[in-house]
Amino acid sequence: MSHRGPAPCGVYVHIPFCQSRCDYCAFVTYVGVDDLHERYCDAVVAEIESRSAEKDGPATSVFFGGGTPSRVDPLLLGRILEAIDRAPGCEVTIEVNPEDAAPERLAAFVRAGVTRMSVGIQSTAPHVLAGLGRVHRGDQVRSVAKAVASSGVSTWSMDLIVGSVEETDDDVIRSVNDLLDHEHAPPHVSAYLLSVEKGTPLSRDVNRHPDDDVLAERYELVDSLLEDRGYRWYEVSNWASDGHRCRHNQLYWSQGDYLGVGVAAHSHARGMRRWNVANLTTYLELVERGASPLLGFEELSEAQRAFESLSLALRTAEGVPIETIERPDDLEGFVERRGDRLVLTVAGRRMADAIARRLVVPGDSVEGVQGAG
């Protein structure tokens, strides 16, 4: 008789602290409040303990995002991990900034329970990094890669952001080569197209907004460079060597359940989405007096869940059933048939949102039920 492991169930921990704020970032982050690290981690532990009944079984993946989780003392992150009921072999990812990648610090994160790191390189061209508001140097990439590869993690990733107006095709090629042309090349690469988010310094300067045609060309360039090196795309912005896909992100893309803890963190369980307050002071005060940090929730209808499931699947290399895309023959060059499924081509991946509007979901769409705490 065969025995399956625990059902996939994730935990997302938001760490909102940063050394400085990048020009493109719209996440809930704070600069200059490092004195709150311990207090915040204590609050996150308290929230985890108060919400333990929301999880169906032990976590199969944990993801520390932000913000800059690597800015926090490894012992504090370890304290949070100890509060999370984890399944054997649980994947534990931490986002790392290059300036925090001292070998002894990374090794301390591994001792605390981290099994995977995601390093935000973004670019190795100095003028591109300056335009993005990043503070690290591009020539750090090899020493950072060596430190991560030697830290004891079982897998790891480096991330790029492409498409800024300061960037050229040669800059992209050089950045990819800098990531991969050495003995400690990452087994996973994420490459995100620069997006303009409301309220950011980037959004306020129209002369710095990326051009859609340039973004499309850069995406195809990155895909070609990575495919030539043996990396295979498995989601629109993610490429990996065999066996190195991110388990936690795959949970998101399969519409799995996850518990989000910390300021502004979002959760999902069986079609119910909920989110915490997005102000750090308010979050701390609520949790410390034993109150819920819940700000709001949304219950999706069956039709909404079905559409969301298809939209997420469309972005992956597994694709969607043929019958779920309206008039697929009209999308020649943007989708290709693989068995009984349709998968986006590299050109189609650039238009994933537009193609998602052609998805066919049985039944009528019904508005979700929303509320606030």
Taking every pair of Cα atoms in the chain, the longest distance, rounded to a whole number of angstroms, is: 63
Separation between Cα atoms, residue 21 and residue 26, nearest integer Å: 9
Global pTM? Answer: 0.92
Residues 102-143: pLDDT tens digits? 999 999 999 999 999 999 999 999 888 887 777 666 678 999
Nearest to 22 by CA among 84, 80, 66, 72: 66
Domains of the chain and CATH, by start: 9-252 (3.20.20.70), 313-356 (no CATH)
Report how far apart, in Å, the C-alpha atoms of 262 and of each of 89, 97, 291, 301 are.
24, 20, 13, 27
Beta bridge partners of 267: 274
Residues 203-260: pLDDT tens digits? 777 877 888 889 999 999 999 999 999 999 999 999 999 999 999 999 999 999 999 9
Separation between Cα atoms, residue 72 and residue 50, nearest integer Å: 23
